[in-house]
Structure 1
Amino acid sequence: MDVESDVKRTKGTGARFAYETLRDEILSLALAPGQLLDETTFAERFGMSRSPVREAFIRLAGEGMVVTLANRSTIVAPIDVQSFPKYVEALDIAQRMNTRLAADLRTDADLVRIAEAQKVFVEAARRGNHLEMSEANKRFHMTIAEAGRNPYLAGFYERLLDQGRRMLHLHFDYLERTHDGHLLTDDHVAMLEAIRARDVERADALAHAHTRQFRDNFIRFMQENYAQAMPLAGPAKPL
């Protein structure tokens, strides 16, 4: 019985390792949008059978990170630039509403958690690790959402943040190249202070400006670097 448990645990660990490794490489763009993913290749790379890799693909497909084609091959999901304006529209609404609620309903304990999340982001930014930065950025914003005490809005917001993490990596790349990497940190600090002051309207305005900055920098980055080179969903159109 113990042997069977060990086998099951080992199998689960293998699938989790494959999932976490592939997820990190997709989010960091080490696996490019549109890249073909072969079960056998990754099984050999990870030193495991194809089953846990297949499980990882299924889980990633459920999160919209990979796509299974009609011929049953699997690719990294393209970045859908054509739907980007609609995405940003939804992100803006969710970000503003959650930040407004946090400013209205936050507790002192919430402020401590938000400040700690911001500290983690600053440390990740100092190291220049984009994967750590995108995870810390999500944690910062989700800590704000949790302070807003609306699990429905927070859940919607979290899905949007997850969907945008690859685009955020490009955003970080743009800020780093143009030497404007301090802007996100400054935005976060201002949002925290507005929430601390219970200034609902300022928190709303800052959240809106934060989304707008992400939108504008991402579009500029794509125009300069990837409009022709990166696989995008749908027919090509100018940004």
Structure 2
Amino acid sequence: MERQKESDIREAGEGQATPVLKSVRRGRGEVPLSDQAYQILEEKIVTNEFSPGKVLSEGALATQLGMGRTPVREALQRLANEGLVQILPQRGILVSDLTVDDYLKLMEARRPLERLIAELAAVRASQKQNFTISKQASQFRQAQQSGNERLFMKVDHEFNHSLIEAADNNYVSRMVGLLHGQSRRFYFKHHAVTDFSETARLHADLAEAVANRREDNAIVAADRLIDFNVRLANRVLNRR
């Protein structure tokens, strides 16, 4: 059952490069090639298709994605800045590991940032942004009620971007952007030991608080999400 769930979540990130590129490119020239490469490679790392310790080749990735080396190199540098890969001169690109201790320290860094983002988004979100976040809240509820973890993973990625955009602070955006990919990867790797309905509900609570401009509730909801992630790390430790 767990293998089937993981397969369902990973499905969008597998297969040949060309179909994936088509799903990313919404219109000719709209999404830069380096952004397309980043989205595809980040998803493969997060879903463990590229597992920790795997050595990647820039040339092989360019061939797989059907693009030149320059956008792939730019995407890899972005992934390296986020700690998802290590670029080793003359050796290739190593997919980084993330220990439980690393993850707990990551949560220490994320807590104040997520509280601030939730507060700023609740205050600064435009009407259009609020509409998008309200829709994402409904999708989280739908994922919770149907047990659709694949839908949750998709909406969660979009929701992170929506909150950052609504918060409208480039400095905070840069800092938290370095942490989200690592957080998603840890959750995907260990999602079998979590209560999926709880994390979906907590995300919906946060989205609704922001969409309704209740900044105090949004801060509390952000805190509860971090608490959930800390409990996840402790469950992983207790299973060892």
Number of aligned residue pairs: 207
- The verdict on how the C-alpha distance between 1:147 and 1:164 changes in structure 2, with shifts beyond 3 A counting, is same
- The verdict on how the C-alpha distance between 1:198 and 1:63 changes in structure 2, with shifts beyond 3 A counting, is closer
TM-score normalised to structure 1 length:
0.68
In structure 2, what is the Cα distance between the partners aligned to 1:47 and 1:190? 37
Residue deviations 1:86-119, cap 9 Å, x none?
A: 2111111111111112233344433211012334
Alignment partner for residue 157 of structure 1, among 176, 179, 201?
A: 176
In structure 1, what is the Cα distance between the partners aligned to 2:62 and 2:112? 41
In structure 1, what is the Cα distance between the partners aligned to 2:58 and 2:120? 45
Aligned residues of 2:143 and 2:149 also touching (Cα < 8 A):
yes
Alignment partner for residue 27 of structure 1, among 28, 46, 57?
A: 46
Aligned residues of 1:39 and 1:53 also touching (Cα < 8 A):
no
Following TM superposition, by how much is the alpha carbon of 1:181 offset from its aligned partner in structure 2, in angstroms?
1.2
- The verdict on how the C-alpha distance between 1:16 and 1:212 changes in structure 2, with shifts beyond 3 A counting, is closer
Aligned residues of 1:170 and 1:221 also touching (Cα < 8 A):
no
Following TM superposition, by how much is the alpha carbon of 1:54 offset from its aligned partner in structure 2, in angstroms?
6.7
Structure 2 stretches of 5 or more lacking a match?
1-28
Alignment partner for residue 128 of structure 1, among 149, 154, 157?
A: 149
In structure 2, what is the Cα distance between the partners aligned to 1:95 and 1:107? 19
- The verdict on how the C-alpha distance between 1:78 and 1:189 changes in structure 2, with shifts beyond 3 A counting, is closer
In structure 2, what is the Cα distance between the partners aligned to 1:193 and 1:58? 35
Following TM superposition, by how much is the alpha carbon of 1:120 offset from its aligned partner in structure 2, in angstroms?
4.5
Aligned to 1:37: 56
Residue type of the partner of 1:188?
A: H
Aligned to 1:168: 187
Moved more, 186-195 or 61-70: 61-70
Residue deviations 1:125-174, cap 9 Å, x none?
A: 75432xx6444213213323333333322332233212322112135332
Structure of higher CA gyration radius: 1
Aligned pairs for 1:173-192 (under 5 A) are 173-175=192-194, 180-192=195-207
Alignment partner for residue 115 of structure 1, among 124, 127, 134?
A: 134
Report whether the alignment pairs 1:201 with 2:216. Answer: yes
In structure 1, what is the Cα distance between the partners aligned to 2:132 and 2:186? 26
Aligned residues of 1:174 and 1:217 also touching (Cα < 8 A):
yes
Residue type of the partner of 2:107?
A: V
DSSP 3-state at the match of 1:75: strand
Percent identity over paired residues: 23
TM-score normalised to structure 2 length:
0.67
DSSP 3-state at the match of 1:115: helix
Moved more, 210-219 or 151-160: 151-160
Residue type of the partner of 1:85?
A: L
Residue type of the partner of 1:128?
A: E
Structure 1 stretches of 5 or more lacking a match?
1-8, 228-239
Aligned residues of 1:42 and 1:53 also touching (Cα < 8 A):
no
In structure 1, what is the Cα distance between the partners aligned to 2:126 and 2:37? 39
In structure 1, what is the Cα distance between the partners aligned to 2:162 and 2:91? 39
Residue deviations 1:183-207, cap 9 Å, x none?
A: 1221123223333444332221111
Aligned to 1:87: 106
